[in-house]
Amino acid sequence: MASLSSLPAKALEAVFLYLDPKTAFTAFIYVSKRCFGLLLSSDLRSQYMNLQFGLTQDYQPGLAAFKRLFRRETCPRWIPLTALLTTGGVDKNTHYWAQNMFSPGHHCAYCSNEHKNNIVVAAVLSELVHGPPTPDLIQAQLLVSGLIRGSWRLRGVPAILPKDSAEDLTEEELVLTKELIRLDPTALVPWKPDENAAGLNMWLTAQLPAVESAVSLLYEALANRDTGISYRDSYYMHLEWDLQAASMAKVLFFTRTVLVSRFGKWSCPVETFLICISEDFLEAESPELVKFNDILQVTDLKSPNFPEIIHYSETNFHIYCEFQRSSAQFHPVIWGKFKSKQDVELQVELKQGFAGKYVYVKLINPENRMREMGDRSEFTNIDCRFVGVRGSVERFGPE
C-alpha cells in the first residue's frame, strides 16, 4: 500500500477509477491522507460513479454519501420494491398480484392471467411510493435483523401472531407486517421472552411451516385491502402512484446481484425472462422492452438491435447473459432461461454495477407443466416466485 500512495497523481487516479467499491474504500480512505485526498475531488467521484454504476450527472454523491455507499457495499440487502404494473393480469384474484414477485419468502408467487406471453412487470423503489422508512420501522428492521442472526430479542415489535385471522390486524400492524415480510418471513414469529438465544434458530426452523401459512393469509388480506390497483383491461393492471414525485426524488438503489426464483409447485413456471434497471419510468409498451418479445434463444440476441453481451454462462440447468451497461438511463441487465425442471433459482453476481429507481421484469414464456400438475386450464399462464436485486439505497441531497 505504501507503493500505491507514492504513485504519480494521474496514475493514482487511474487505479482508483477501476477498483471495485469495497477495495477502493479500504485502499483509499484508510491508506494515506494523499489517497483520501482524491475523494475530495467531486470530478473524480463523478467519473468513478459513472464508470462503476453508469450514474448520470443528476445523482452525484457528496463525500459523506460516497463513503456511506462504499460501506454499504460490504453488507448488501434485498432492495425493497413495490410493484407498479403488470401487462399480464392476475390468475383468479389479487392474491396473486405482482407484488408477490418482489417479496422474499415462499408464501406465494405472481401468477398471471392465462393466454399471454411477453408479460412486463414493473416495480419501483418502495420509499418512492410509501415514503422513506420511519424511525419506528428502522428500529424494527434492526431488531428483526438481529433476530435472524440469533443474537437479539424481538423487543419493541408487536407480536403479530398468533391471530385468529389477518382481518383482526390493525392498519398499523398491517403496514408493519408488510415491511417485515419483505425482510424475512421468520420475522413474523413472536419472540418468547423466556426463550434463550442459543435455541432460537432451532425454534424458528420448527415454526417455519406455520409462519409461511400465516404469511400467505396476511398477504391475501393485504392484497384484498389494496384499493390502489386499477384495471385498464383484463391484462393491464397498475398501482395508483405519484410519478412526478418519484421522478424528482433524489434517491437510487445500487446493485451488483440479481436473483430470479420459480420455487414452488407451479403449473407454468417462468422459463425465459429479461431483467432491466432504469433511473426513469418507461411504459410497458416502450420499444426498449418490446424488442425482446419472443426472444427464446441467446442466438436471437446477437444482432445490432440488442445491447452487447459482455458475459455468457451456460450449464445443464440454465443459460444467462449479461449486457453491456448503456449510456442511457434504461439498462437491460440480464436475459436468462431455465433449462431443467430441477432448476428453481438463478442468482447472478454481475460484472458491472447498476443504479436506478425501477426494475422491469419481462416474463417471455413459461415452462408448461400443466399435465403433470393436473391443471385443466385451456391455456398457459406464467408464474414467478421472486425477483430481487441486492445492494443498498442512497439518498442524495445537501450534506
Determine how many CB atoms are found less than 10 A away from the CB of residue 238. 18
User: What is the rounded end-to-end Cα distance, in angstroms, of the chain?
Assistant: 31
Helix 135-149 with 171-183: angle, nearest 10 deg:
50
Sorted by sequence, the CB contacts under 8 Å of residue 243 that are 6+ apart come out as 281
pLDDT at 170: 47
* Burial (Cβ within 10 Å: 0-12, 13-18, ≥19) of residue 128: buried
For residue 327, the model assigns a pLDDT of 80
Domain regions of the chain by residue span: 2-73, 77-126+230-395, 135-225
Divide the 399 residues of the chain into consecutive groups of 10 and give the mean pLDDT of each group: 65 74 63 66 77 74 70 71 93 82 75 95 88 52 39 33 38 48 42 43 49 46 55 86 88 92 92 96 96 96 94 96 91 97 92 94 97 92 94 75
Q: What is the DSSP string of 162-205?
A: S-S-GGGS-HHHHHHHHHHHHH-GGGGSPPPTTS-GGGHHHHHH
Question: At the top level of CATH, which class does the domain 77-126+230-395 belong to?
Answer: mainly beta
What is the distance between the alpha carbons of residues 386 and 104, in angstroms, rounded to a whole number?
7
Are residues 334 and 257 in contact, defined by beta-carbon separation less than 8 angstroms? no
- DSSP line for 252-291: EEEEEEEEEE--S--SSBEEEEEEEEESS---TT-HHHHT
In 21-157, where do the E strands start and end? 77-78, 81-86, 110-111, 119-125
In the block, cell 456511506 appears at 68
- C-alpha to C-alpha distance for 232 and 18, rounded to whole angstroms: 47
Is pTM beyond 0.85? Reply is: no
Sheet holding 251-261, edge to edge: 77-78, 386-395, 251-261, 345-356
**Which of 355, 328, 232 shows the shortest CA–CA distance to 284?**
232
Query: What is the spatial distance between Cα 17 and Cα 24, in angstroms, rounded to a whole number?
Result: 8
